[in-house]
Structures are given as C-alpha cells and as structure tokens.
C-alpha cells in the first residue's frame, strides 16, 4: 500500500475545508466506516495521496424527525438503522435492507452514506430510499445543496460528488413519513451476498376507493445505477388494489430494467426476478398498509 497523508476532521465544516485544501492538487479519499475503501486500497493501483477521516463527526450520526422529514446522517451505521425505534415504527423496510448488508462486522462499521457514495448498482440501501423519494444533502465550500437521490447516482461507482464535496445527510420527506414500504433482495445465498436483483415498493392507500396512491417502485442490480420503474408506477396510480394489478405492475417493471449477463446470472433470469420481486414488494407494502390501518394510522399520506 502506498503511503499517504492522513487528516482527522473535527467537524463537517473542517472536513469540507480539508477537501477544498487538498483536492485540487492531490487524489483525496474520505474514510468513514472503511468497509469498502480498505478493501480497495489493498488491490487498487490508484491509491490516494491524502486520506480524510470523518468517522468522528458526531453531527452526522443522528436519526432525527424534523420539520422537513426524517433526517439520517451520512455516518449512521447499518446497525443503528436496524436498532432504531424510529425506523422500526416508520420504515421497517429500511431495517430489512440494512439487515442484508454484509456481515455483523460490516453492519457495525459501514455507514449509510458510504453505501450510497460507493454507488454500486446492487447496493441494498438504494431501492428503499428511492421508493421513498429520499433527498440527499451535499456539503461543499460554497454551502449545502439538496437533490433527489436518483440524481445523485451517475453510473456504476459514480456520483455527482465533486472532489471537494461531502455527502452529509439523507432526508425522507415529511410527506412520506410512515408510507407503507417493502424491500426484497435475491442473492445466490442468504447472507453476505451481492444482490442479483433487489427491489422496493411503496404506496399510500385511498381506503374509500381501495386504490393505489403515489406508488413508487425502485430496482437495484438491473441497470448501471439504482432506478425507478415509471411504467409500473403510472399503471398503478389510482388503480384498484388487486393481485392482478400487482402482477401486471411486475411485468411492466421488466420494461424499465436493463439487466446484463454476467457470471452470477443471466439477463433473462434477472428480468424474471424483477417481475417476481416487484409483485412481492407490492404485496408486502399492501400487507403493511392493512396492519397500519388496524393499528389506527390508516396508511394515509402525511400533510
């Protein structure tokens, strides 16, 4: 491993200042949990000149309900998500996704922000957040800016982040708090496996008409980045909730996917998985909506 300079940031402003100071003339890497980065450093010929440690930035480690929605700091670990009472109440699908990430040690160290910044198409945190229309906050020397998570991803292992920018926060908008959502992953084994396909679906329910409201479907490992399934979403909007409608949405979602053949699975098999997992995610979200209604929350959209 090539030698590099190491800096421990004091807070997020200091981290951005360090990035601005070094990114113009050096190859800089951010380290948080390090579960992906340290593995890359052992084999990559493109080692950094400078490493900036942000693992101690406490302001990026919180899960908080705010006026804007549910704010999740970029340094929140997967284990934190799994143990969070707020997540358990509002978004068990995010907990289910966190549970599928790596081994216990990886979940203890790995962060949500790191999982997103790595930007592999098969990431397990992406589909649920996309189905909930999450927004990310990026910190830079000129201030902070927000964008939909879907715009954050550019391609495999590529995001919109500039060399002097830092992912600071992930926000699930207030309008989607408590939205019934379900996540599923299919891999070659039950644990510590990359997804062949993963998927998430969310929707509100108009209980008077028994129809889908604001359905959102997201898919991973079937395109260069995590994607939504707009054809399936448009089909479901305002439609009566039936098993047949969910099955048809699964078939339509296949049209939005662009899977590839590789050593883990064929494109044809992945298309089959898209159809099946989309249908099952919709069924899971529907079951959760019914449970919420029995508990008194009614699965209605927040104001």
Per-residue pLDDT, 301: 66
- Average pLDDT of the chain to the nearest whole number: 94
Query: Could you name the CATH architecture of 178-295?
Result: 2-Layer Sandwich (3.30)
pLDDT tier, 303 (very low <50, low <70, confident <90, very high otherwise): very low
**Adjacent-strand bridge partners of 140:** 143
Q: Partners of 148 in the beta sheet?
A: 135
CB of 131 within 8 A of CB of 216? yes
In this chain, the answer to whether the domains covering 5-53 and 178-295 adopt an identical fold is no
Residue 87: closest CA among 79, 302, 191: 79
Q: How far is CA 95 from CA 14, 175, 240, in A?
A: 31, 20, 29
| More confident site: 262 or 212 | 212
From 31-45, 55-69, 170-184, 228-242, the region with the lowest mean pLDDT: 31-45
Domain ranges of the chain: 5-53, 58-175, 178-295
Q: Give the Cα separation of 74 and 85 in Å (integer).
A: 18
**Non-local CB neighbours of 266 within 8 Å, separated by 6+ positions:** none
> pLDDT above 70 covers what percent of the chain?
95
Query: pLDDT tens for residues 251-298?
Result: 999 999 999 898 889 999 999 999 999 999 999 999 999 999 998 876
pLDDT at residue 35 tops 90: no
> Which position has the higher pLDDT, 98 or 4?
98
DSSP-assigned states of every residue in 109-144:
H-BHHHHHHH--TT-SSHHHHHHTT-EEEEEETTEE
Nearest Cα to Cα of residue 203 among 186, 222, 181: 181
Domain 5-53 annotated CATH 3.30.43.10? yes
Which class would CATH give 58-175? alpha beta
Q: What is the pLDDT of residues 194-205, one digit of tens each?
A: 899 999 999 999
Residue-wise pLDDT for 144-191, tens only, equals: 999 999 999 999 999 999 999 999 999 999 999 999 999 999 998 777
């Amino acid at each position: 491993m090539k030698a590099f300079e190491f800096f421990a940031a004091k807070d997020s402003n200091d981290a951005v200042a360090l990035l601005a100071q070094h990114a113009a003339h050096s190859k800089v890497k951010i380290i948080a949990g390090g579960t992906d980065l340290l593995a890359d450093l052992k084999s990559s010929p493109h080692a950094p000149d400078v490493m900036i440690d942000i693992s101690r930035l406490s302001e990026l480690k919180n899960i908080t309900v705010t006026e804007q929605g549910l704010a999740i700091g970029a340094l929140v670990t997967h284990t934190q998500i799994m143990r969070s009472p707020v997540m358990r109440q509002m978004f068990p699908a995010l907990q289910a996704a966190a549970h599928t990430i790596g081994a216990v040690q990886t979940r203890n160290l790995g962060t949500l922000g790191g999982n997103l910044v790595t930007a592999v198409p098969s990431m397990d945190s992406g589909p649920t957040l996309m189905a909930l229309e999450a927004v990310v906050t990026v910190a830079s020397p000129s201030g902070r800016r927000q964008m939909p998570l879907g715009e954050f991803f550019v391609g495999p292992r590529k995001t919109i982040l500039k060399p002097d920018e830092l992912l600071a926060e992930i926000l699930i908008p207030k309008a989607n708090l408590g939205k019934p959502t379900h996540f599923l992953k299919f891999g070659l084994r039950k644990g510590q496996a990359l997804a062949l396909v993963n998927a998430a679906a969310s929707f509100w329910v108009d209980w008077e008409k028994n129809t889908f409201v604001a359905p959102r479907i997201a898919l991973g490992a079937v395109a260069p980045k995590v994607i939504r399934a707009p054809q399936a979403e448009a089909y479901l909007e305002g439609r009566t909730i039936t098993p047949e409608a969910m099955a048809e949405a699964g078939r339509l979602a296949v049209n939005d996917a662009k899977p590839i053949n590789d050593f883990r699975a064929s494109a044809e098999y992945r298309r089959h998985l898209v159809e099946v997992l989309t249908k099952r995610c919709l069924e899971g979200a529907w079951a959760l909506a019914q449970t919420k209604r029995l508990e008194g929350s009614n699965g209605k959209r927040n104001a």
